[in-house]
Amino acid sequence: MTIPTKLLLVDDEEDFISALAERLRIRNYDTSLATSGEAAMLLIQQDRPDIVILDLKMPGMGGMQTLKQIKAKDPTIDVIMVTGSVDSKVGESALSAGANDHLVKPFDIKNLVEKIQDIRKKRGLN
Amino acid sequence: MKALWSKIRPKFWKAQVDLSGGEQDVSYYSRIWKVAVAGIASVSVLPLVAMAFMNMNQYQNALKAQLVFPVTRLVSNTKRTIAYFLHERRAALRYIVMDKDFDADCSMERLNRTFIRLKNSYGGFVDLGVIDSHGVQKAYVGPYDLAGKDYHTQPWFREVIIKGVYVSDVFGGFRDIPHFVIAVKQDQDDGGFAILRATIDTDRFNSLISSLDLRPFTDAFVINHEGVLQTPSRFHGNTLEKIKLPVPPNTTTTQVLEVQDNKGQPLIMGYAYIEETPFVFLVLKHEKELMKGVAKLRRNLGLFLALSLGLILVVILGAATHLVNRIYEADLTRTSAQHKIEHTNKMASIGRLAAGVAHEINNPLAIINEKGGLLKDILSLGSDLPPKEKLVGLIDSIISSVERCSVITHRLLGFARHIDVRSESIDLSQFIEEVLGFIGKEALYRNIAVSMDVADDIPLIKSDRGRLQQVFLNVLNNAFAAVDDGGRIDISVEPASPDRVSVTITDDGCGIPPENLRAVFEPFFSTKGEKGTGLGLSITYGLVQKLGGNISVESEVNKGTSFVITLPVRG
């Protein structure tokens, strides 16, 4: 039995993260949800996740700002950026701001799982 | 006629010109054409016609002067000759009576001698008589038996007593041979007087006139003060007949008049009164000669004028048509270029929207993806089937996400479709909400507060939806570009006047420096560098003008910018 990976899904589209979270749980990931950047920061404070799957565009505190705050708080938390924008610059700027990876919505869950596994491998968790 | 007109009618004649507010003018170019033709024609044709008439008049006067001058000369020369002829004979008679031996009792023999001397030296004398102070002819030499004739009752006798000399009219006399009389008085030492009376043949008189080398249509003759011919005339009757022309007024100098003969033909009349005689010398010249020259001149000038006018008109019509056609074609090119630019701008807007739209659609797509994926996971990976409600909930979520997508695509289509110009009733508040629909998400993500304040009594306006969308999208895009994240954009709609509505879009963005403010509506003016074409606001300006409205801007650096768009209520 490997150590379960704690995931935090952050997106203002609740329908999206609720379904995604359920699917990840089916795949044995410990998953929690937040529908805004502010809520995500509160959750991180209570229970540190291993990987944050973060939407870039959100009302209020946007994805970019949340990313910076997470990295400032705990640089060891990995972040996969998720965006609806097809603009490749958006992903690049996320990477340069400290995100480990990025995905364009809609994506195949296999891709997400692969990226999660990549991060786990890198951390020697596997 | 109509068929011909439709063939030669220039293309621009009934061309439609779009006026602001959607009205059309179909006589714009034909009006330019008419003004051009009238203008050029008035400055070229009028002076030409005026010159032609002045020329004609001047030439006519010159011709008349040419005609009058010889008449004047002829009249004054001939008058002098006649006057001299009469004076000579009068002087001869006076010379005789001044002889100290001359008296009423002069002998027949002596009178005869004198008569023969006179006839030989001067000629023209028909008879000679001496009359005493009682009017009785004491002595007579001549072809008639007039000795002893009593003249004291006759008017001439009285006249010669008063004036001392008398020249009679021409008269027929006994044998009906025209002649006239000259009489001179001589006072005697005894207080009485004697008169020497001579009859003079008019042949000499006539030959004076007939020797004038007269041109055809010219007549010369002598009349008395009553208008009775004293010499024969060519066209106006014989001696002793009355001419059918008025007697010209008495003057001491030679005069030329224009008169009309009894047929109404114009005549040039030169005349001179011969002093101390009842005679008036007349020269009459038909103006026919003059008219011939004038008519020829008039014909030539008329022909020249007509040809010139024709040529000028052809050139004016041709040039005006050509020029207006060029204007028309240039306008067409300009309009089509403008349409192209507008279309390009619209397409660019759509392109810009597309990025946002893709993002917006990707969100519901991601939901569909995950909900569908979850369904699949449950069915393939799960051990037992979840409750029915859960499955229905998943499917409902998928359907509502599909609806979200279709709203977005329809909105985009609705924007792209309105390329044709068409006027329709528009509820401005609903319309602006619709436009905001395109960019509302951006406001959400960038935390830009967009507020809208619509006055209660805003009527529906008649306008072109497609163009209006373009206008608001351009202005709102600029506002979004100007504000920072977390900024605000206020939109207010209020009535500007009974038939106009104004929409004010205010942002609290970076503002426009005063030196740029004047240029914002000019084409190719941009501060966005490679990101902008500099056409957005210039196109917006043109579109608002076309919709019959106007757009103005106020700005303060670092405080924000306000665009005010005023639109007519009735198109």
Chain A residues close to B445, C-beta within 8 Å: 57-59, 62
Chain B residues close to A26, C-beta within 8 Å: 377-378, 381-382
pLDDT at A53 over 70: yes
Continuous H helices in B283-427 = 288-381, 388-417
Average pLDDT over chain A, rounded to whole? 88
* pLDDT digits 0-9 by tens, B335-364: 888 888 877 877 777 777 777 778 888 889
* pLDDT digits 0-9 by tens, B236-258: 888 888 988 889 999 889 998 88
Residue of chain B minimizing CA distance to A87: B355
Question: Terminal CA-to-CA distance of chain B, rounded, Å?
Answer: 39
* pLDDT digits 0-9 by tens, B536-564: 788 888 889 888 899 999 988 888 899 99
pLDDT at A6 over 60: yes
CA quadruple A34, A38, A43, A48: dihedral positive or negative?
positive
**Chain A: closest CA distance from residue B364 (Å):** 8
Residue of chain B minimizing CA distance to A55: B363
Chain B residues close to A57, C-beta within 8 Å: 359, 445
Q: Which residues contact B445 (CB under 8 A, 6 or more apart)?
A: A57, A58, A59, A62
- For the record, the structure tokens of B149 come out as 């004739």
Answer yes or no: do B359 and A84 touch at CB < 8 A.
yes
Q: Residue B375 and residue B48: Cα distance in Å, rounded?
A: 97
* A22, A62, A86 member nearest B358 (Cβ): A86
Q: Residue A27 and residue A57: Cα distance in Å, rounded?
A: 27
The answer to whether A63 touches A55, Cβ cutoff 8 Å, is yes
CB pairs under 8 A between A and B: 73
Residue at B232 is within a domain: yes
The answer to whether A23 touches B381, Cβ cutoff 8 Å, is no
Answer yes or no: do B363 and A84 touch at CB < 8 A.
yes
* B363, B365, B444 member nearest A59 (Cβ): B444
- Looking at B286, B302, B334, the residue that finishes a domain is B286
Query: Taking Cα atoms as reference points, which of B365, B372, B466 lies closest to residue B424?
Result: B466
Answer yes or no: do A15 and B359 touch at CB < 8 A.
no
pLDDT of residue B531: 60
SS (H, E, C) B89-140: HHHHHHHHHCCCCCCCCCCHHHHHHHHHHHHHHCCCEEEEEEEECCCEEEEE
pLDDT of residue B297: 81
Q: Residue B477 and residue B342: Cα distance in Å, rounded?
A: 16
User: Model-level pTM?
Assistant: 0.53
* pLDDT digits 0-9 by tens, B43-84: 988 888 898 889 888 888 888 788 788 889 999 999 999 999
* A15, A60, A105 member nearest B447 (Cβ): A60
Facing residues of B24 across strands? Answer: B18
**Chain B: closest CA distance from residue A125 (Å):** 25
pLDDT of residue B533: 64
- Which helix (H) or strand (E) segment holds residue B217: the answer is none
- Looking at B253, B286, B319, the residue that finishes a domain is B286
Answer yes or no: do A84 and B362 touch at CB < 8 A.
yes
* pLDDT digits 0-9 by tens, B284-306: 888 776 677 778 888 888 899 99
Listed by start position, the domains of chain A span 6-122
Residue at B51 is within a domain: no
Answer yes or no: do A23 and B401 touch at CB < 8 A.
no
Residue at B323 is within a domain: no
Chain B residues close to A104, C-beta within 8 Å: 362
pLDDT at B407 over 50: yes
Task: Please give the CATH architecture assigned to the domain spanning A6-122.
Answer: 3-Layer(aba) Sandwich (3.40)
B119 burial (CB, 10 Å; 0-12 / 13-18 / 19+) is middle
Residue of chain A minimizing CA distance to B374: A23
pLDDT of residue A2: 56
- Looking at B229, B258, B286, the residue that finishes a domain is B286
pLDDT of residue B315: 92
Average pLDDT over chain B, rounded to whole? 85
pLDDT at B141 over 70: yes
**% of chain B at pLDDT higher than 70:** 95
* pLDDT digits 0-9 by tens, B190-209: 788 889 999 988 888 788 88
Q: What is the mean pLDDT of residues A54-63?
A: 88
Q: Which residues contact B263 (CB under 8 A, 6 or more apart)?
A: none
Answer yes or no: do A19 and B374 touch at CB < 8 A.
yes
**Chain B: closest CA distance from residue A46 (Å):** 27
Taking the CA atoms of residue B306, residue B312, residue B317 and residue B318 in that order, the dihedral angle to the nearest 10 degrees is: 120
Range of B153-157, B394-398, B495-499 with top mean pLDDT: B394-398
Q: What is the mean pLDDT of residues B422-434?
A: 86
Q: Domain residues for B252?
A: 63-286
Q: Residue A3 and residue A24: Cα distance in Å, rounded?
A: 15
Q: Residue A101 and residue A86: Cα distance in Å, rounded?
A: 15
Facing residues of B201 across strands? Answer: B179
Residues B119 and B267 in one domain: yes
Chain A residues close to B447, C-beta within 8 Å: 59-60, 62
* Cα B198-B201-B205 angle, rounded to 5 deg: 115
Q: What residue type is B125 in one-letter code?
A: F
**Chain B: closest CA distance from residue A124 (Å):** 28
* pLDDT digits 0-9 by tens, B461-517: 988 888 888 899 889 888 888 888 889 999 999 998 888 999 999 999 888 888 888
Q: Residue B285 and residue B271: Cα distance in Å, rounded?
A: 11
Taking the CA atoms of residue A94, residue A95, residue A100 and residue A103 in that order, the dihedral angle to the nearest 10 degrees is: 60
Residue at B455 is within a domain: yes
Q: What is the mean pLDDT of residues A56-62?
A: 86
Q: How many domains does chain B have?
A: 2
CATH code at B565?
3.30.565.10
Residue at B173 is within a domain: yes
pLDDT of residue A23: 92
Q: Residue B87 and residue B94: Cα distance in Å, rounded?
A: 10
The model's confidence at residue A120, banded by pLDDT at 50, 70 and 90, is confident
Q: Which residues contact B401 (CB under 8 A, 6 or more apart)?
A: A15, B364, B365, B367, B368, B371
Continuous H helices in B232-287 = none
* B363, B365, B370 member nearest A20 (Cβ): B370
Q: What is the mean pLDDT of residues B382-410?
A: 86
SS (H, E, C) A4-32: CCEEEEECCCHHHHHHHHHHHHHCCCEEE
Q: Residue A8 and residue A92: Cα distance in Å, rounded?
A: 22
* pLDDT digits 0-9 by tens, B90-137: 999 988 888 877 777 777 888 888 899 888 888 888 899 999 888 899
Chain B residues close to A112, C-beta within 8 Å: none
pLDDT of residue A1: 42
CATH code at B74?
3.30.450.20
B565, HSE (Cβ side, Cα atoms, 13 Å): 29
DSSP B570: B
- Which helix (H) or strand (E) segment holds residue B207: the answer is helix B202-210
Q: What is the mean pLDDT of residues B352-378?
A: 86
Question: Terminal CA-to-CA distance of chain A, rounded, Å?
Answer: 10
